Structure 1
Amino acid sequence: FIRVNHPRTLFSLFYPLFLLNRAVLRVNLPFDDPLNYEQRSFLQTIQQRQWKSEADTPVILSEILSLLSTGSAPELLAEEITPTPIVIKGDRPPLPVAELELPGGTIQLASRFYVQREPWESRCYEQIGKNAGLIRIKAPRQMGKTSLLARICDHAAELGYRTASLDFLETDEAIFEDLTVFLKRFCALISRKLGISPRQVPEFWDEELFGPKENCNDYFEQYILAPLTVPLFLGLDELDRLFPYNIVAKEFLTLLRSWNEKAKVNETWAKLRIAIAHSTESYVVMDTNSSPFNVGLAVELPEFNQEQVLDLVARHGLSWGTEETRQLMKMVGGHPYLVRLALYHVAQGDLTLSEFLVTAATDAGIYGEHLRRHLWNLQQNPELAAAFQQVVATKEPVCLPSMSAFKLNGMGLVSLQGNEVILRHECLYRPYFQSRLRIRE
C-alpha cells in the first residue's frame, strides 16, 4: 500500500499497469470523485476496491491473497468487488483528459494535445528515411510547423541518425546582413551541436581563394559529413527570418538546393537529410508570387477537420456536442492555435462558449493579439490592405492581382478558389476588419 496525497496523480501515472491485473485499488479516492473521461471509461470495466483506513487493510489483503492462490476473490466478497458505477456529481465540471497546456510555441513531444495530420506526418517520416530526403513545411504562423519539425527530428533520432536543429530566431539580426558571416556562423553552430570544435571553421575558411558558399560546402563535406557513419538530420526552423535579406537568403537557399542535388549522386552527401520550416506570412515582404524554395516534399499544413476538433474538445474535458463544435469552427475554422486557445480558456473556466462567441472578433477578446498582428501587417502594406478591403466588403469570391492573392493566402486571411479568393474565418475576420479598416458592405 502506498499513501498518496494526490490520488488522481497515482491513477494518471499507473492505471495502465493496473490493466494487466484487471483490478484497481482506490486509495482515499471516493467513487464519486470526478475523473477525466479517459480514466472514467477505463475504470468502468474493472473491478475496484476502495481503501479508506487501516480497518480496510485486512479485508483487502485477504482478497489479494485469495486472488494470488486461486485466481478468484473470496465468495463472500465477490458481490462487493463487482464493477461500481462511477458517478459524477452534477455541480462538478468534467476534468480534462490531461493537465491543460496554454497554447503557444512548440507542443511538447509527450503532449496529449498534439493532433497528427495525416497523411503528412507519415509522408515526412518516409521522406526522411530516404537518401536526399528533403522536407519543407510551410504555413501561416501558429499552424504547428515547429511542432511537426520537432517530431520529424525525434523520428530521425529513433532511426539512429545524428541530429542538429537550428532555430533562426536565435540568430542575431546583424548576422543575416553578410553571407560570409552568416555561413561561418551556420557551420560553427552545426559543428557545436555535433560535438565538433567550432574553432575549426575560421581555421578552415580561405577567403582569398574561395567564395563563402564554396568554403561552406567544403567544410560541411569534410568536417561534418565525411566522418559520419550514419545519416545526419538537419532541421532548420523559422527559415523565413532570412527572407528580408535578399542576397543572403538567395545564396543560402541555392546552397541547400545544391546539397540536395549532390545527395542524389554522391555517397558522402547522401548521408544528409534536411527539413525546413517557414511561415508563409513572410511572403508579404517578398517581391515574388512564388515560394522561395521549391524542391523536396512540400508540406502545406492544413487546418483541423471537424473530427479532429471534436477529439480536442474531448481531450479538454468539455462535454460539447456537434453543435457547440460547429459554433467554434464557424468562428475560427480548424486553425490549430485559435481552436486550442478557445478550448483552453473555456476548460479553465475563464469564459463560456457564449461569452467567447461575443468577444472573439474584438481587441478585448482572446484573439486580440492575433488580429492586431494581421492589422499591423496590412497597415504596413497599403496596396495589400486595399486588396483585402475588396475581399472583406463582399461575401462573393473576388479576383485579385496574382501577387496580392498569393500574399493574403500566405497570411492565412483568404482561401484560394481557382483564380479567385474568399475570406477565411468569416465570423472572426469580417466583423473585425470591417470595423478596423472602416469597410462598408
Structure 2
Amino acid sequence: MAPSNLTDFFIAGGTLPLRAAYVTRPADQELFERVNGGDFCYVLTPRQLGKSSLMIRTAQRLRQAGGRTAMIDLTGIGTKAATVDTWYQGFLTRLQLDLRLSIDVQAWWMVKRQNLGPSQCFIEFLHDVVLAEVREPVTIFVDEIDSTLSLVFSDDFFAAIRAIYNERTNDPIYNRLTFVLLGVATPTDLIKDQTRTPFNIGCRIDLQEFSREDAQILADGLDEFYPGQGDAILDRILYWTHGHPYLTQKLCLAAVNASGDGWNEQRVDDLVGVNFFTNEARKDTNLQFVHSSIQARPKSERRQVLKLYRNVHAGKVIYSDERSLIQNYLVLFGLVRVTQGHLCVRNEIYRRVFDQSWVKENTPTNLQQWIAIFASLIAMVLVTYTAFIIWTRPDPPAIQAQICKDTFEAAA
C-alpha cells in the first residue's frame, strides 16, 4: 500500500513544488551551464511544457553555485491598467525584493525620470544599483514574457535587454548580469517594429518532451501504487502523450487516483478517453489553450496555420523551416513538433482531439474566394444564355457575330 501523501508526487499543471516528481531533461543541464557561463538565454515554448519549473530548479542550482537570482513573473505586474512608469516600477520592485536591495525603488525612479526615459532608467538601475550592491553574478529570470506583447512599450523593454548584452564589450560590469526570458512567443515577437534591430541575441534552449529514460522517475512513482506495473502503465501513457509534461503528469495522477489494481493497455486507453476525449474533458485547460491560440489569430493567418496543420495531420511530409512564421506559430501553439527535420502532430491525444473535423470547423471561410467563384458562375450563365438567344434568332450572321462579341466583352 502506497503512502497517502504520494499523490502529491504527481502534479498536473502549474509550477512543480520541490517535493513533486520533477523530470530532469537535457535542457536542465544546458540552461544551467549556459547561464552559469554568462550567456543570455531564452526558453520559448508552448504552455505547460515545464518552463516555470525549469526556471525554479535552475535558479536553485545557480544560488548553490554562489550566484544571486531574481524571478520575475510578468503576469504579477499586470498589463491592462499599467502605464509605462508603473510597469517598470513593478518590475524593479520585484528585483529589489528578490535581490534584497536596500534602495527605495519609487523614490529612485521619480528622481531619475525627471531627465531620462523609462528604458534608460531601467538600464541605469541595473548598472548603478543592482550591480553596485550585488557583487556576485546576477541572473534575472523573466517569465511569461508573452503577457507584455500587447504593451506599446514592450519593444523598448526588450531592446533595453539587448542593449545591455551589447554593452558588455564596453563595460565589463555587465558580464556579471544575465537574463533568461521564458514564455509563449517567438524571437520576432519580442521587437515587433520592423524599423528596429530584431531581438537577435542569446542562446535558444529547446525544452523537449520527456524521453522514456528521463521519465523513469514517474514509472517508479506509479510502481509504488501498483507494484510491478509502473513501467507498463507509463509506457502506454507515453504512447498517447509522447512525453508532454502536463498530459503525462495528468494521466499519472489519474492512474493513482483510480480504483482497482489490474492494469493493461486497454485500461490506460480508457483513462485517456475519460480525461481528454469526452465533451466535458475537451474543456481541459491545455486543450483549450491550443484551441484559443488558433482562434486568436487573424482570419487570414488562421487559415494558413490550419491549412498547414491539415496537411501535417494527413501525414504529408512538411520539412521544417525556422524562417516560416506560420510554422513557428504552429509549433508554439503546441500542435506540432519537429522530428528528424519535418513536422508531425505533437502527440496522439492532440491527433484525436484536433482532427480533420476540428480543422474544418475552425477554418474561416475565404469570402473573397467565394465571391470570385460566384462571379465566374454568373458570367458563365450569362454567356450561355446569351449564346442560346443569339443562335435561335433569325438575324444575319454578321449581326449575330457582333451581338456575341458584345456579350463576351461585357461578361469579361
Mapping of residues 186-201 of structure 1, within 5 Å? 186-193=91-98, 194-196=100-102, 197-201=104-108
Larger proportion of helix = 2
What pairs with 1:278-293 in structure 2 (closer than 5 Å)?
278-280=183-185, 293=199
Structure 2 residue matching 1:233: 3-state secondary structure: strand
Determine if contact 1:309/1:339 at 8 Å carries over to the other structure.
Answer: no
What amino acid is aligned across from residue 239 of structure 2 in structure 1?
K
8 Å CA contact retained: 2:251, 2:272: no
Residue in 2 aligned with 1:391? 309
Aligned to 1:13: none
Report the counterpart of residue 407 of structure 1 in structure 2. 329
Aligned to 1:298: 204
Secondary structure (helix, strand or coil) at the match of 1:422 reads strand
Whether the 8 Å contact between 1:184 and 1:216 is mirrored in structure 2 is no
Instruction: Write the distance in 1 (CA, Å) between the matches of 2:354 and 2:243.
Output: 19
Give how far 1:140 is off. Answer: 0.8
Unaligned runs of 5+ in 2: 261-266, 363-412
Structure 2 residue matching 1:273: 3-state secondary structure: strand
Q: CA 1:98 to 1:372, structure 2 compared with 1: closer, same or farther past 3 Å? A: closer
SS state at 1:421 partner: strand
Partner of 1:215: 121
* 1:184 and 2:89 correspond: yes
- Partner Cα separation in structure 2 for residue 137 and residue 99 of structure 1: 27
| 2:181 corresponds to | 276
> Are the aligned partners of 2:31 and 2:41 in contact in 1 as well (CA < 8 Å)?
yes
2:16 aligned with 1:100: no
1:326: how far off?
4.0
2:285 equivalent in structure 1: 369
In structure 2, how many angstroms separate the alpha carbons of the residues matched to 1:400 and 1:127? 26
Matched, 1:336 2:245: yes
Change (3 A) 1:35 1:214: closer
1:117 aligns with 2:25: yes
Partner of 2:69, secondary structure, is strand
Q: Match for 2:73 among 154, 164, 167?
A: 167
Q: Contact (CA 8 Å) 1:283, 1:410: kept in 2 or not?
A: no
Query: What secondary structure, in the 3-state scheme, does the structure 2 residue paired with 1:308 have?
Result: coil
Q: Give the match's secondary structure for 2:71.
A: strand
Deviations 1:232-255 (A, max 9, x none): 22121111111222x422111111
Structure 1 residue 409, shift from structure 2 partner: 0.9
- For the residues of structure 2 that align with 1:128 and 1:234, how far apart are their CA atoms? 10
Whole-angstrom distance in 1 between the partners of 2:44 and 2:120 = 28
Q: Residue deviations 1:253-302, cap 9 Å, x none? A: 1111111223454243222122221124898999799x974422211200
CA offset at residue 364 of structure 1?
2.8
Give the TM-score normalised by the residue count of structure 2. Answer: 0.72
Instruction: Report how far residue 367 of structure 1 moved.
Output: 7.0
Listed as ranges, the gaps of 5+ residues in structure 1 are 1-33, 37-94
User: Per-residue deviation at 1:405?
Assistant: 1.4
Instruction: Give 2:29's aligned amino acid.
Output: S
Whether 2:264 is the aligned partner of 1:358: answer: no
Number of residue pairs the alignment of both structures matches: 342
Which whole-Å CA distance do the structure 1 matches of 2:65 and 2:47 have between them?
A: 29
* 2:148 alignment partner in structure 1: 242
Distance 2:300 2:181 in 1: 30
Task: Return the alpha-carbon distance in structure 2 between the equivalents of residues 435 and 117 of structure 1.
Answer: 35
3-state secondary structure, aligned to 2:70: strand
Higher relative contact order (CA 8 A, sep 6+): 2
Give the 3 Å change call, closer, same or farther, for CA 265–108 of structure 1 in structure 2: farther
Identical-residue share of aligned pairs (%): 18
Secondary structure class of the residue paired with 1:306: coil
CA contact (8 A) 2:120 2:160 kept: no
Tell me which of 221, 229, 248 is aligned to 1:320.
229
Q: Greater CA deviation, 225-234 or 258-267? A: 258-267
Q: Is the 8 A contact 2:50 2:245 kept in 1?
A: yes
- Partner Cα separation in structure 1 for residue 192 and residue 293 of structure 2: 16
Partners of 2:346 and 2:190 in 1: how far apart?
Answer: 21
Q: d(CA) in 2 for partners of 1:143 and 1:310?
A: 17
Aligned equivalent of 2:109: 202
After superposition, give the CA deviation of every residue in 1:351-406 in whole Å (9 maximum; x if it has no partner). 95132233333333377332222222222333444332553461223479932211
Q: Provide the C-alpha distance between the structure 2 equivalents of 1:294 and 1:163, rounded to a whole number of angstroms.
A: 24
Judge which range, 308-317 or 275-284, deviates more. 275-284
Which deviates more from structure 2 when the two are superposed, residues 231-240 or residues 422-431? 422-431
> Residues of 1 paired with 2:161 and 2:351: CA distance?
37
Segments ≥4 residues shifted beyond 6 Å: 95-98, 281-289
1:157-184 deviations in Å (ceiling 9; x for gaps): 21233332211110121365x4444333
> What is the identity, as a one-letter code, of the residue corresponding to 2:250?
L
Taking the aligned partners of 1:284 and 1:217, their CA distance within structure 2 comes to 21
Q: Which amino acid aligns with 1:166?
A: I
Deviations 1:198-237 (A, max 9, x none): 2332343233x32222222223211221132222221211
Aligned twin of 1:126: 33
**Shift, 1:148, TM fit:** 0.9
Question: Do the aligned partners of 2:158 and 2:190 also contact (CA within 8 Å) in 1?
Answer: no
Q: Given that residues 187 and 199 in structure 2 are in contact (C-alpha distance below 8 angstroms), is that contact kept between their aligned partners in structure 1?
A: no
Mapping for residues 220-235 of structure 1, pairs under 5 Å: 220-235=126-141
List per-residue Cα deviations over 1:61-82 (Å, max 9, x = no partner).
Answer: xxxxxxxxxxxxxxxxxxxxxx
C-alpha change, 1:181 and 1:121, in structure 2 (3 Å) is: same
